[in-house]
């Protein structure tokens, strides 16, 4: 069943890459074809200015979206910090408390400290993760936000994927250009947008993982020196000393540690916003400039037949 699923996934990815490649080629051919046509330069300049104006407007709308999502995320992270500070010591005490097999648990606790807060048995039937336990309240409070911002499937009206899909410098009132050259420029811009959005949506999946995992990574960094000290404890009463050291450190670091985890999430979210905006602005500004400069170049080869061939290829590609 896994092999069947992976084959299907691989075919889907290959189809998507093929579609992106054909679309990219079609966009370039449309731009070349626009150089074949004689047109009033003033009309072209008006269309280019319209694209620039729409880009600025769309980027402002994207700003508003990210600011709204950021405020929600900050509020829920603050609630998570408060709950984490209140409950982290009790959670730590329960997790690392000795069971009836004191000798066996001593080895588990030593392995947990040696592995920076995580222990797993050889057959993975027992997993003890102090970092995950400490991060759970922060994760709980942003879980709904993440489901809304980064849904696996479906629409939420707060999804970053939806915002990118809706982003366009081609407005509805300019969807049907009245002249051939404007049609080809319009087509080139549209294909550049499709290609850029597909690349951004792929990148966002990785950024989502980085943002979510940053909470636990921050906790590991804050607790690292404690784990090292606890792992070095030896001799009589070492298990109690390790337990006390872990509990005391969590208690001492809790406010600063969870605030740092909160700020790390928010910082990475700001970076996500910056990267998305920069990519959209830079790539589309370049596309606009290329569409404008193409019309001032000398007449080039007629590629209308090649464009028709690519249209047929796109129709043949399965969805």
Name the range with the highest mean pLDDT among 175-189, 238-252, 281-295. 238-252
Chain-wide mean pLDDT for the chain?
85
Return the closest-CA partner of residue 58 out of 167, 144, 132, 151: 167
Total Cβ atoms within 10 A of residue 33: 24
Q: Which band of pLDDT confidence, cut at 50, 70 and 90, is reported for residue 122?
A: confident
Q: Which band of pLDDT confidence, cut at 50, 70 and 90, is reported for residue 125?
A: confident
Total Cβ atoms within 10 A of residue 24: 15
Q: At what angle do helices 180-231 and 238-294 cross, to 10 degrees?
A: 170
Q: How far apart are CA 281 and CA 63, in angstroms?
A: 12
Q: Which band of pLDDT confidence, cut at 50, 70 and 90, is reported for residue 156?
A: very high
Mean pLDDT of 147-160: 93
pLDDT of residue 77: 98
Q: Is the pLDDT of residue 297 over 60?
A: no
> In the numeric block, which tokens belong to residue 100?
């009836």
pTM over 0.85, yes/no: no
Q: Which band of pLDDT confidence, cut at 50, 70 and 90, is reported for residue 298?
A: very low
Mark 52-82 as b/e (b = at least 16 C-beta within 10 Å). Answer: bebbeebbeebeebbeebeeebeebbeebbe
Lowest mean pLDDT among 75-84, 203-212, 304-313: 304-313
Q: Is the pLDDT of residue 143 over 70?
A: yes
Q: Which band of pLDDT confidence, cut at 50, 70 and 90, is reported for residue 3?
A: confident
Total Cβ atoms within 10 A of residue 289: 12
Strands (DSSP E) found in the chain = 118-120, 127-129
Asked whether the CA dihedral 112, 117, 122, 127 is positive or negative, the reply is: positive
> In the numeric block, which tokens belong to residue 69?
């999502």
Give the helix/strand (H/E) hosting 220: helix 180-231
Mean pLDDT of 203-229: 97
User: For residue range 221-268, what is the model confidence (pLDDT) as tens digits?
Assistant: 999 999 999 999 999 899 999 999 999 999 999 999 999 999 999 999
pLDDT of residue 39: 53
Return the closest-CA partner of residue 199 out of 113, 284, 100: 284
The pLDDT > 70 percentage for the chain reads 77
């Amino acid at each position: 069943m896994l092999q069947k699923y992976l084959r299907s996934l691989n075919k889907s990815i290959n189809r998507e890459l093929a579609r992106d490649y054909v679309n990219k080629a079609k966009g370039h051919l449309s731009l070349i074809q626009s150089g074949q046509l004689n047109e009033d330069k003033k009309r072209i300049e008006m269309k280019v200015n319209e694209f620039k104006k729409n880009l600025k407007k769309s980027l402002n709308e994207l700003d508003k979206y990210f600011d709204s999502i950021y405020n929600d995320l900050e509020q829920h992270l603050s609630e998570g910090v408060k709950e984490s500070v209140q409950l982290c010591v009790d959670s730590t005490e329960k997790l690392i408390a000795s069971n009836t097999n004191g000798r066996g648990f001593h080895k588990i606790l030593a392995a947990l400290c040696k592995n920076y807060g995580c222990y797993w048995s050889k057959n993975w039937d027992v997993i003890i993760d102090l970092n995950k336990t400490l991060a759970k309240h922060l994760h709980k409070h942003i879980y709904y936000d993440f489901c809304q911002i980064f849904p696996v499937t479906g629409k939420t009206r707060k999804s970053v994927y939806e915002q990118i899909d809706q982003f366009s410098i081609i407005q509805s009132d300019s969807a049907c250009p009245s002249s051939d050259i404007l049609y080809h420029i319009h087509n080139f811009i549209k294909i550049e947008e499709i290609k850029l959005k597909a690349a951004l949506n792929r990148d966002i999946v990785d950024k989502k993982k980085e943002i979510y995992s940053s909470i636990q990574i921050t906790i590991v960094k804050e607790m690292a020196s404690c784990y090292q000290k606890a792992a070095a404890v030896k001799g009589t009463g070492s298990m109690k000393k390790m337990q006390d050291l872990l509990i005391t450190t969590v208690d001492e670091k809790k406010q600063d540690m969870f605030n740092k985890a909160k700020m790390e999430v928010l910082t990475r979210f700001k970076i996500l916003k910056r990267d998305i905006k920069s990519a959209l602005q830079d790539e589309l500004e370049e596309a606009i400039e290329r569409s404008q400069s193409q019309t001032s170049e000398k007449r080039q080869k007629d590629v209308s037949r090649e464009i028709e061939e690519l249209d047929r290829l796109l129709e043949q590609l399965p969805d």
